[in-house]
Amino acid sequence: MQKAIPCLLMRGGTSKGTYYLASDLPADPKARDKVLLGVMGSPDKRQIDGVGGAHPLTSKVAIIKKSERPGVDVDYLFVQVFVEEAKTSTSQNCGNILAGVGPFAIEQGLVEANDGETVVTVFMENTDSVARQRIQTPGRKVQYHGDAAIDGVPGTHAPIMIEFLDVAGSSCGALFPTGNFVDEVNGLNVTMVDNGMPIVMIAAPDLGLHGDESIAELEANEPLKQRIEELRLKVGPLMNLGDVKDKTVPKMFIVSPAKHGGLLNTRSFIPHRVHDAVGVLAAASVATAANVPGAVGHDFANIPAGQRRLCEVEHPTGSMGVEVVLDDDPTINVPKSTSIMRTARLLMAGTAYYLDK
């Protein structure tokens, strides 16, 4: 039998997905996942029988409700819907989909808009952390058009500034979960860091790469992919993530000197396909680590001067700007906060249908 569920289809940053009110979905996770898989059209590599875009970046879900937490407006649960498997994952956060949470909350009446700008404070359930968004709302309506451009999205839109308040170690228990800025694992020097997204940074030359290889080249390199996956499985327990065989974290980053004047250049496995760009929280983790002496990438990174630094993390389709703020104490090398500018757009609002098999 075909069933219906209200939802919005939105672009958040360089990702796209369906956004739901938590009250419209089943409370039981198994029943909920059945709905999400049905709406997306998984499992199927084309997701032809659903609204998914046949790629992990366009098969994402945000589930939102009004928060009961002091000082927080809404709670946000991110769900990654697998494309070719009947699986979902809540083991990670998504900063791109997060960009659409504030606009969704205003559109759905969960947050009352101010005339001019509205601040929406979001509790991210996946990582027990908080982000603060500034949404442009002239006339108390969400404004989607504007002059802000982000690489990976055509045209310009209204900027959404996202400040991450307490994401350090949100998945791994510490910003640097092993207590080290660099570790040797499987014969490679790696930096394991979690500033909202658990990632592993490896210098491109250590893998016999230049760092500017195309997505197609990297995905066709089976020995490299196998080596990256073996490393990922090994570092999972070291990062307090346990067995990561069936998880989408940590993300694996190949870093090299910047090609266009940015902080450094990246290629990321997310974890088995190569990202067209870079995830928001992953970029925050990269920028944080690169600013720390001793971490992988620091020696060849272009580190801006000053306490407040705009760091451009380069990726296959451009770069992502991360504002890194250092601690007031100059003897503390670890940055104290990060902010990122994103954009979002409401694409469609209405009712989605799925088969209740």
The string of DSSP codes covering 123-172 is EETTTTEEEEEEEEEGGGS----SSB--TTS-S-B--EEEEESS-BTTTT
What is the predicted pLDDT for the residue at 336? Answer: 86
Model pLDDT, residue 16: 98
Cα–Cα distance measured from residue 82 to residue 259, given in angstroms and rounded to the nearest whole number: 33
pLDDT in tens, 5-21: 999 999 999 999 999 99
Closest CA to 311 of 319, 292, 280: 319
pLDDT reported for residue 165:
84
Tell me whether domains 2-166+343-355 and 183-333 share a fold. Answer: yes
- Mean pLDDT across the stretch 96-123? 98
Out of 3.90.1150.10, 3.30.930.10, 3.30.70.1230, 3.10.310.10, which CATH number does the structure's domain 2-166+343-355 have?
3.10.310.10
C-alpha distances in Å from residue 75, one per residue of 55, 104, 181: 26, 12, 32
Q: Looking at residue 33, what is its pLDDT?
A: 97
Domain spans of the chain?
2-166+343-355, 183-333
C-alpha to C-alpha distance for 33 and 343, rounded to whole angstroms: 27
Decide if pLDDT at 140 tops 80: yes
Two tokens, residue 168 = 């350090």
Asked whether 277 and 182 are in contact (CB, 8 A), the reply is no
Q: Which tokens hold the place of 10?
A: 């939105």
Continuous segment of H or E residues that includes residue 347:
strand 344-355
Is the model more confident about 69 or about 356?
69
pLDDT at 239 over 80: yes
Mean pLDDT across 165-187: 94
Confidence (pLDDT) at 353:
97
What is the model's pLDDT at position 182?
98
Strands (E), 22-155: 60-66, 74-81, 88-89, 116-124, 129-137
Sequence-ordered strand ranges (E) for 208-306 = 251-256, 264-269
Residues 239-252, mean pLDDT to the nearest whole number: 96
**What single-letter amino acid sits at 57?**
L
C-alpha span between 345 and 137 (Å, rounded): 13
Q: Are 158 and 143 in contact (CB under 8 A)?
A: yes
- With 90 as the cut, is the pLDDT of residue 357 above it? no
pLDDT at residue 132, as a whole number: 96
**Band of the pLDDT at 166, cuts 50, 70, 90?**
confident
Q: What is the pLDDT of residue 242?
A: 97
Question: What's the confidence (pLDDT) of residue 18?
Answer: 98
Per-residue pLDDT reduced to its tens digit, 300-350: 999 999 999 999 999 999 999 999 999 889 888 888 889 999 999 999 999
* Average pLDDT of every residue of the chain: 96
Domain spanning 183-333 has what CATH number? 3.10.310.10
Q: What is the mean pLDDT of residues 58-62?
A: 98
Please say if the pLDDT value at position 197 is more than 80.
yes
Check pLDDT > 80 for residue 1: yes
Average pLDDT of 241-251? Answer: 95
**Predicted pLDDT at 39:** 98
- CA distances (Å), 134 to each of 73, 95, 118, 140, in order? 13, 14, 6, 13
Q: What is the value of pTM for the model shown? A: 0.78
